[in-house]
Structure 1
Amino acid sequence: MSTTVDPGWTQLDRAKAAGKLMAGWVALLWLIELVDLATGHALDGYGITPRDPDHLIGVVAHPFLHFGFGHVASNSLPLLVLGFIAALGGIRRFLAVSTLIILAVGVGSWLTAPPNTLGAGASGLVFGLFGYVVVRGFVERKPLNAVVGVGVAAVWGSSIFLGVLPTDSGVGWYAHLIGLAAGVLTAFRHGRPATPAPTPVR
């Protein structure tokens, strides 16, 4: 699927748009957590409650909710950086990719999370964007994006690997694993080189 980009935009314009989008996104997470704190953590209940049909809202709400400012802080930098890199390829494509990852993590966690747990946080999306950014350049066959992907893997690869292992009962490793898989799959879905138009033969 090719990216639709305004032909009048320069790379700097796209970078500014991506930066504003992600700065606003991260700021929104902090604002939501501030509201959550002010309301006695009333928003936490909108997270993912496994296999409870009365709480399906958590499927889409979970990446915007966190359990405290420390939780928000741990997700803010990787979301800002990975989101910015992904959004450089086009805002519409980025939003489509993010939506698919969020839904995959939400539905997957709703189906597979342990009973009596409550899931929230942007980490599933972060893992998904990591998988997308790392794989995208190779699928697109664009050397620069491939180099960026290798750099991202070098910086966050070890943390991502540890994050998908069931070593801590207090961490939703299953959401991380689902997010990572969804990001890789979306890279193949949205990163395919456009098929050139056939040459007319007379």
Structure 2
Amino acid sequence: MPQNKASLSRAVHNAVSQFETRVLVLVLFVGSIWAVFIATAAFPELHLYRYGVVPRTLSGLQGILFAPWLHASVGHIAANTGGLIVLGWLCMWPRISNFVSATIGAMLGGGMCAWLFGAPHSVHIGASGLVFGYAAYLVARGLYTRNLLSVLVAGFVGFSYGLTMLFGVLPLYPGVSWQTHLGGALGGAVAARIGARNRSRVRA
């Protein structure tokens, strides 16, 4: 009986520790995006928007890394924050590495698509590519793994964000980077595919 209690105590401690770690990672990540936005608003002379994706320019490639941290207004960053928190949190399970993979895939996909297909002289900024990437990652993971929990999460994401994703990847709204949305979604789906493939190799 004492051993059972000790095992249960360790299991609870590990679960709490994992939960706290995920909260910390997500808070630091989303917090860093807000910190850059506040710095951009407080010090406009820094001209941080120049670090966005500028299509088909050599200097514009830096935006693949920096654009998700740049936002044009409070409404812009607020619109992305909810998706970053909800979808980012879901991506962290069962492993934080899933969140990292989805983030990298969405950043690369969204940034490259904006760089390749964006209008000349435009500047693409914002974390919406990450939001689309997380959503696509979660849906694709459910399709690839066929794990019951992953399928349920995929269904929730498809139901909650399906229409937003569908219209967001189409060139319907002036001033909105559908290229980033499309590329982010593709990058997230590719990250899910790679992750599912790697897990199947480990099981084999």
Q: Within 2, Cα distance between the matches of 1:13 and 1:110?
A: 40
Q: Within 2, Cα distance between the matches of 1:131 and 1:15?
A: 24
The partner residue of 2:181 within 172, 176, 181 is 176
More moved, 74-83 vs 183-192: 183-192
Gaps of 5+ in 2: 1-10
Q: Within 2, Cα distance between the matches of 1:99 and 1:196?
A: 22
Q: Within 2, Cα distance between the matches of 1:185 and 1:99?
A: 11
The CA deviation at 1:196 is 6.1
The CA deviation at 1:81 is 0.8
Aligned-residue RMSD, C-alpha? 2.0
Structure 1 residue 128 and structure 2 residue 145: aligned? no
**Secondary structure of the structure 2 residue equivalent to 1:57:** helix
Aligned residue-pair number = 192
Structure 1 residue 19 and structure 2 residue 23: aligned? yes
Residues 179-190 of structure 1: matches in 2 within 5 Å?
Answer: 179-190=184-195
Say whether the 8 Å CA contact 1:14–1:90 is kept in structure 2: no
Residue type of the alignment partner of 1:134? V
The partner residue of 1:104 within 100, 105, 109 is 109
The partner residue of 2:32 within 28, 31, 38 is 28
TM-score relative to the length of structure 2: 0.86
The CA deviation at 1:15 is 3.0
The CA deviation at 1:11 is 4.2
Q: Within 2, Cα distance between the matches of 1:145 and 1:22?
A: 20
The partner residue of 1:39 within 24, 29, 43 is 43
Residues 1-202 of structure 1: matches in 2 within 5 Å?
Answer: 10-40=14-44, 42-192=47-197, 193-195=199-201
Gaps of 5+ in 1: 1-7
**Secondary structure of the structure 1 residue equivalent to 2:200:** coil
Structure 1 or 2: more helix by fraction: 2
Q: Within 2, Cα distance between the matches of 1:96 and 1:154?
A: 23
The CA deviation at 1:195 is 3.6
Q: Within 1, Cα distance between the matches of 2:60 and 2:157?
A: 35
More moved, 43-52 vs 92-101: 92-101
Residue matched to 1:4: none
The CA deviation at 1:106 is 1.1
Change (3 A) 1:59 1:27: same
Q: Within 2, Cα distance between the matches of 1:70 and 1:186?
A: 29
Runs of 4+ with >4 A deviation: none
The CA deviation at 1:100 is 2.3
Change (3 A) 1:25 1:196: closer
The CA deviation at 1:97 is 2.7
